[in-house]
Amino acid sequence: YEVIDEYSTNVTFEVSRNPGQAVSCDVTVLNQSFAIVGFLTVDVEASTSRSTVISSTIRTTELGVSGLVQDCR
């Protein structure tokens, strides 16, 4: 992850899935107290590749200190 400013954080992650399968991933940004200060569901389109690197900017309500993928389905 990369904190851009107090109100946005960029999270880059790799998604592995079956070729041709689209998935949605829930990405969260946490503050120093581990509270969620940003959330985004990222839709990853189907492709012929098994792995795809995604980079998304998540708006936050305050400064985030970590960004992570909660779930992909």
For residue 49, give the 3-state DSSP assignment. coil
Please state the domain extents for the chain. 2-72
- The pLDDT, as a whole number, for residue 64 is 97
Report the candidate in 7, 1, 5 with the shortest Cα–Cα distance to residue 60.
Answer: 7
Q: pLDDT tens digits, residue range 15-72? A: 999 999 999 999 999 999 999 999 999 999 999 999 999 999 999 999 999 999 999 9
- The pLDDT, as a whole number, for residue 57 is 98
Q: What is the pTM of this model?
A: 0.91
